[in-house]
Amino acid sequence: MEDIKQKKLQLLEETVATYNLNNRCADESGKCHYSPKSLGLEGISPGCAIGRLLAPELQEQFDNTQPQSGADLVSSLPIGFNSLFKRLPEDLQTLGKQFLSDLQNLHDWKGYWDENGITEEGLGKVQQIKRVHELN
């Protein structure tokens, strides 16, 4: 169990260190894209918080996948789609849907980022994620 908590904390810290307002893989409406290729951000963005952990082919497949119905949604976040979660590499699935959704939400909300990186509001979200997932 401690190993999974360490992996979650490491991934959270890497996410904070990776992104700023200009390299998040989200379009103007705030919709996440797993692949930087889908937004013409190759070399600028590694993809979204979850997408950067996937092979390029899987990133593109996820960008082209839409939910079949409301029943397929676990949350409003793209990573919450049951069908997508089941296609994630097993090492990511072990981190759990809720953690991955929380991590993706951190990435997706532009108010959490500025040109230099994470904002004070974003740091508050990070602390909330740490509390909820007992990562302190």
Total-model pTM:
0.85
DSSP E strands: which ranges in the chain?
113-114, 117-118
pLDDT digit string (tens) for 13-70?
A: 999 999 999 999 988 877 788 999 989 999 999 999 999 999 999 999 888 875 443 3
Q: pLDDT, tens digit, for every residue of 66-119? A: 544 333 333 444 555 567 788 899 999 999 989 998 998 899 899 999 999 999
CA–CA–CA angle 11, 35, 54 (5° rounding): 45
What is the distance between the alpha carbons of residues 130 and 8, in angstroms, rounded to a whole number? 9
Which residues face 121 on adjacent strands? Answer: none
Closest among 12, 63, 11 to 35, alpha carbons compared: 63
Question: What domain count does the chain have?
Answer: 1
Domain with 26 in it: 2-132
Cα–Cα distance list, 47 to 55, 110, 131 (Å): 11, 15, 26
Helix 2-18 crosses helix 120-132 at what angle (to 10 degrees)?
A: 170
Calculate mean pLDDT across residues 4-17. Answer: 96
